[in-house]
Every structure is written in C-alpha cells, then in structure tokens.
C-alpha cells in the first residue's frame, strides 16, 4: 500500500506492506485523513518519530470486528495497555505503555490502511459526511479543555490563534455561553468565527489583565506571551498546542499573580462526534483543500502555507 | 529612626523620619524582623523597589488603634484599596491598587517603625514568643498552597528545597498526612525535618514521574526542572519562590503530560498564628542568627551565606 513515511525528518511517499492487526485490533481501510499542526511539528522534529504519519482519519473496518465490519469509523489515537496505573485509574490517554497513532511507535493514517484496537473505534453516524467526521479527533482535543477547567457563562475567555485548532477551541468554548474573544492575525480566518456570532479581534489590540481564562492555540512563544498578558491575577492559561521549541516565561510574575497554567491534550470522541453530527460545531469552512494520497507531499506543503486551514488526504481505495 | 534602605540595588543603613500613619493605619514599633529570600532577590533586582526593605515582623502598636494599643502584632503585607474588582471579590492579596510592605511602594519592616492599615494587624497570643511569631508571614505563604490545591492523605508529594521556605512548606504539608518527601542539598537542613518524622532525601535521587504534587521552593531553574521531572502525568507543580531570572521549560511535555503549574504567593495569617502557637509548626531550629538593626548589612550578608536559614533583626527600641 501507499504511505507517507517519516524518517530522520524526511517525509517520503513509499510502498509498505498492509498492516497485520494484532489480537484485539481491527484493520481499517482509510478513506480520508486530516493534516494537523502536530504532523508538521513532527516533520520539523519536535519529537523523534519514524513511521507512517497521520492521526486524524475516517476509515472502513475490513477485519477484526464483526460488529463494525464494513462500517465507517473514527479512532481514538492512544492504544493503551489496560494494565498500568493510569489505565486502571481511568486515565488511559496517559497510559505508560501507550503507542499513539502516527505519533509514538504506531504507524498512522496517511496510508491506505491502518490498524487500531477495536475498543478505540467509534462508528460514524450515517448522516455525518466523511470529510466532516475527519475532524472528530481535533474537536475531541478542543473539548478536553472543558474536562480540565470549568468554564462558566460569567467568564471572560480569550482564545489566542485563528488556525485550525483555535477555530475548534473557539467553537466548542462558545457553546458554554462564556464571554468569548478570539484573536488572530488573519481577517479571513477570523471571518469564519464572526459568521457564527463569535467576537473576534486582532492580536495586537487585546486588553491586558482582563481575562479569566486564556487558551493558547498558536504553538509559538508570541502567542503564549499574549495569552499570559491577557490574564487577570488568579487566571488560568491553557496550553493547547505542541511546541517545537522551549518556552521562556517570567516565573516571578506567575507567582505574584498566582496564575495557573494547564497543558491539555486528547479528549473524548463521543461528544465530539455528537457536536459534529448536530452541526453545533461547523468545520465545513475550515476545509481548504483535498489531495489524493499520491500527492501527499504536495498536500503537506500546502498545509504549511500561511493562511491555509485544514488539508485533507483522500485515499483511492486501490492498493 | 534607623532603617535599611534599598535604592538602585544598593542597601544602606540610613536615618529616616518615623512614618506618619495615614487614616486607618497604625504606627507599629518593630521588635523583630525576618530576612526572607524575597528580600535578597529584591536586592539582586528581580523587581525594582526603592524604600525600606522587610516584610516579616513582630511589633507593638503605638498609635492608630485603641483596641491594639500596646499589643504585640504581626501584619499582613498587602495594603489594599477595598474598592477594586479583586478586593470586592474577596481576593484582596490581588488588589489592583495594593502597596506591599517592603516590596511595592510601601516602606517595610527593617526599621524602628512601620505603618500598616489597622485591618492588616493580628494580635500575637501572649504565649507565643516574638522570635517565633516573626514567622507568621512565611507560614501563611506556605499554607496558601492548601488554599489552591487539595492535598489528600493518599497523595505523593515532593517538596524541592530545604531552605527557609521549603522547611515551612514541608511542615505545613506534613500536617495533611500526605505521603511527603523533601529533597535538598544540605544534610543539616534536612535533619531539621527528619527530626519531625518527615522523609527527606538528596535531590539527585528522586524517582521520576512518580509524584502527584511537587512544590518548587528553591527559586532556581534546576529546582524547577527537578520538580517537573518528578511529576506523574496530570500532576501539579506549585511555584512557591520568586525568581530573579526567566524560566525556560519544555512546553510540549507539559501539554503531552497535561501538567498543571500554579503560582502561589501570600496566605492567611490566622491559621498560621494558630499553627505556630500550638507548636504544630516548629520554627525554632530555623533561627540561625540574631543581629541588631544597626548591623543590618552584616545580617543580610549572613542571610546570603550558603546553608544559613533564618536571620532575625532585633530593634533596639531607641530611636
């Protein structure tokens, strides 16, 4: 089968064998996959990874589950051991022995086939288009914030970043009824959010020390700095992006203002699928391009381009 | 009166006028004052401050409060406006218009007299020696951690740092019954804690990814790094020290492990006084030296010396 293979920070289109699912795993024929900033960071080398890239996908189960056979599915990306202290304490995304689809020791979704534990798979409702369902993983990640922090309607919330992740974080936070502002640097991206009634602004004009909660979705130090300055004393800053570099911050001001900083990663798929199916989160305007897997390298270049939101890969179904 | 005056990172013993209390303030004759690491950081220039240094003290009220007249008192260090959004929402230590004794726009305690709002003062129980009561402010700061984070008996807690603050943080956390370890670099300091039944160890030998909560009390990047590495995924790191420099950290690992980082500053005086009066927190072994105010510069040099814990200044009562 064809696959986008990462090795030594070099991405290649390669022929590789179709994966052989382990016991408890299903073989999934990939229909569509989304390119995420984490993929771009992995190519830049933020974390050493060798193998097939990609972790956002919709596919069809071809082997390994009678119940899901022939069904469209999405899949949680952490394959867990079920035995370590984190699995046993209900925190499987922090499993000590986990592999992570396209990120840690497990071949990913930029390929004709992938394998994942059956328990990771969720059936996609028939009414939900494949393109839209491909966003389940990042919408789940956006929802993780609300698992970590209580966001009430009275709160002033700032989302820093108008990229793919920032847009999903903003849409999910808006559903809480909080007093939300999203800042970015691209009028056409912010326009997506304005169209849904979400307040937007340019990053240079935010009010300092005014927000109860800020969410950093840019993955760069300037975004972190902005999210920090926007917070009132005792405010909370959620770090939602991965960072290729180290972050530097004024630790004394964090102490003096008693700021809370929270790292936030993967979330639950079920509520994400629901929000996509009901249209409460609308990802249609985020889709900027489709590429066949065979043009995967061009797709990655497009995804790296300033101003471009989600680029989707389409698999041919021929191996 | 005599005072230790800081200006352009230079500390001087100076004659200055006795303060004239504003309405609502009391004039306090200082009996004893403690030298804190924040004082040393201010001298090093972590924050620009000009005026009399010092914020840990016991004194006698000489003017401004009939009720407290002639009584020994300690004083909360934040003088607040009572009108801003933080004062009105019950978070006076974050008052937007606050002055802070010996730290922000308010002359401090390394002097024969100071003035503070009457509402900031707490009477010292008769049975509580002056030396011991001088620790009320740092014990209150240690207790602030438990206002921010729930510490349960089941939790594995690491305190990094065996200095003045680390010792008080350790003693107050030990009262929760948590599974506590304190690491430092000085056998004789750790011995204070061992003597109270608190587990101690050397900083190089901690178990990584094992602790639910870690408290950084060293104020240096190596301490932060240690406190970070000790945490399990979804653990909490409390920053308790002020830092002269910026801190650099691996933001991606914070995101991947969903770590919470919390800055922690001033706490409540009433429970601190209680713990000191009941002997549940024992500060006697922390007192390493007494100096008269007239030898204040030598006292500061002594406090800077490696291995030295609390240095106290004694005021003569003669002005």
Output the pLDDT for position A262: 98
Output the pLDDT for position A319: 64
pLDDT in tens, A166-222: 999 999 999 999 999 999 999 999 999 999 999 999 888 789 999 999 999 999 999
Output the pLDDT for position A45: 87
Q: For residues A302 and A289, is the Cβ–Cβ distance under 8 A?
A: yes
Output the pLDDT for position B318: 65
The count of CB pairs under 8 A between chains A and B is 107
Whole-number Cα distances in Å, A34 to A275, A296, B301:
18, 11, 61
Report the residue of chain B nearest A236, measured CA to CA. Answer: B262
* Contact list, B210 vs chain A (CB under 8 Å): none
C-alpha distance from B277 to closest chain A C-alpha (Å): 28
Output the pLDDT for position A318: 65
Reference A12, options A37, A43, A36; nearest CA is A43
Report the residue of chain A nearest B38, measured CA to CA. Answer: A252
CA–CA separation, B313 and B318 (whole Å): 14
Q: Is B258 on the interface with A (CB under 8 A)?
A: yes
Backbone angles phi and psi of B27, in degrees to 5: -95, 125
pTM of the model: 0.94
pLDDT in tens, B297-316: 999 999 999 989 999 999 98
Interface test with A, best of B257, B258, B260, B266 (most A CBs within 10 A): B258
Backbone angles phi and psi of A97, in degrees to 5: -115, 20
CA–CA separation, B218 and A128 (whole Å): 54
pLDDT beneath 70, residues of chain B = 318-319
Query: Taking CB atoms and an 8 Å limit, are B258 and A263 in contact across chains?
Result: yes
Output the CA angle B107-B111-B116, nearest 5 degrees. Answer: 45
Count how many residues are written for chain B. Answer: 319
Which tokens belong to A207? 């009010």
CATH number of this structure's domain A2-135+283-314, picked from the four choices 3.90.180.10, 3.30.300.30, 3.40.190.10, 1.10.10.10: 3.90.180.10
Query: Taking CB atoms and an 8 Å limit, are A224 and B252 in contact across chains?
Result: no
Q: Is A242 on the interface with B (CB under 8 A)?
A: yes
pLDDT in tens, A126-160: 999 999 999 999 999 999 999 999 999 989 999 99
Query: Taking CB atoms and an 8 Å limit, are B91 and A234 in contact across chains?
Result: yes
Strand, coil or helix: what is B301? helix
Backbone angles phi and psi of A263, in degrees to 5: -80, 140
Burial B140-156 (b: 16+ CB within 10 A, else e): bbbbbbbebbebeeebb
**Section A33-40 average pLDDT:** 96
Q: Is A220 on the interface with B (CB under 8 A)?
A: no
Strand, coil or helix: what is A281? coil
pLDDT in tens, A44-99: 987 899 999 999 999 999 999 999 999 999 999 999 999 999 999 999 999 999 99
* Contact list, A169 vs chain B (CB under 8 Å): none
As a CATH number, domain B140-263 is 3.40.50.720
pLDDT in tens, A261-297: 999 999 999 999 999 999 999 999 999 999 999 999 9
Q: Is B146 on the interface with A (CB under 8 A)?
A: no
Q: Which residue has the tokens 């021929």?
A: A318
Q: If 0-12 CB within 10 Å is exposed, 13-18 middle and 19+ buried, where does residue B118 land?
A: buried
Q: What ranges do the domains of chain B cover?
A: 2-135+283-314, 140-263
C-alpha distance from B95 to closest chain A C-alpha (Å): 9
Q: Is B48 on the interface with A (CB under 8 A)?
A: no
Q: Is B220 on the interface with A (CB under 8 A)?
A: no
CA–CA separation, B284 and B167 (whole Å): 12
* Contact list, B233 vs chain A (CB under 8 Å): 86, 91, 94
Query: Taking CB atoms and an 8 Å limit, are A239 and B250 in contact across chains?
Result: no
Q: Going by DSSP bridges, is the β-strand pair B231-239/B211-216 parallel, antiparallel, or unpaired?
A: parallel
CB within 8 Å of A223: residues ≥ 6 apart: A160, A161, A216, A217, A241
* Contact list, B156 vs chain A (CB under 8 Å): none
Strand, coil or helix: what is B7? strand
Q: Which residue has the tokens 């989304």?
A: A34
Q: Is B205 on the interface with A (CB under 8 A)?
A: no
Beta strands in chain B, from DSSP E residues, in sequence order: 2-7, 10-15, 25-34, 51-52, 56-63, 72-75, 78-79, 99-101, 105-106, 113-117, 121-123, 156-160, 179-184, 199-202, 211-216, 231-239, 247-249, 260-263, 287-292, 310-314
Instruction: Evaluate whether A2-135+283-314 and A140-263 have a shared fold.
Output: no
* Contact list, A37 vs chain B (CB under 8 Å): none
Q: Is B45 on the interface with A (CB under 8 A)?
A: no
């Amino acid at each position: 089968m064809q696959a986008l293979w990462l090795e030594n920070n070099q991405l290649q289109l390669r022929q590789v064998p179709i994966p052989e699912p382990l016991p408890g795993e299903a073989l999934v024929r990939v229909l569509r996959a989304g390119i995420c900033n984490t993929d771009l960071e992995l190519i830049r080398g933020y974390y050493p990874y060798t193998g097939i890239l990609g972790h956002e996908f919709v596919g069809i189960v071809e082997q390994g589950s009678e119940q899901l056979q022939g069904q469209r599915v999405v899949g949680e990306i952490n394959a867990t051991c079920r035995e370590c202290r984190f699995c046993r304490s209900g925190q499987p995304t922090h499993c000590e022995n986990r592999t992570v689809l396209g990120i840690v020791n497990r071949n990913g979704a930029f390929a004709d086939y992938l394998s994942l534990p059956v328990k990771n798979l969720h059936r996609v409702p028939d009414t939900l288009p494949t393109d839209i369902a491909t966003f389940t993983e990042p919408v789940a990640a956006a929802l993780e914030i609300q698992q970590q922090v209580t966001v009430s309607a009275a709160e002033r919330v700032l989302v820093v970043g108008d990229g793919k992740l920032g847009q999903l974080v903003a849409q999910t936070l808006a559903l809480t009824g909080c007093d939300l502002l999203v800042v970015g640097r691209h009028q056409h991206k912010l326009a997506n959010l304005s169209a849904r009634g979400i307040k937007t602004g340019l990053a240079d004009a935010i009010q300092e020390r005014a927000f109860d909660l800020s969410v950093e979705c840019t993955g760069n130090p300037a975004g972190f700095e902005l999210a920090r300055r926007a917070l009132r004393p005792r405010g909370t800053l959620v770090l939602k992006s991965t960072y290729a570099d180290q972050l530097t911050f004024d630790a004394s001001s964090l102490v003096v203002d008693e700021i809370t900083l929270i790292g936030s990663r993967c979330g639950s798929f079920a509520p994400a699928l629901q929000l996509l199916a009901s249209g409460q989160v609308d990802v249609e305007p985020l889709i900027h391009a489709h590429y066949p897997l065979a043009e995967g390298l061009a797709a990655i270049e497009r995804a790296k381009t300033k101003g471009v939101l989600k680029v989707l890969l389409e698999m041919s179904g021929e191996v």
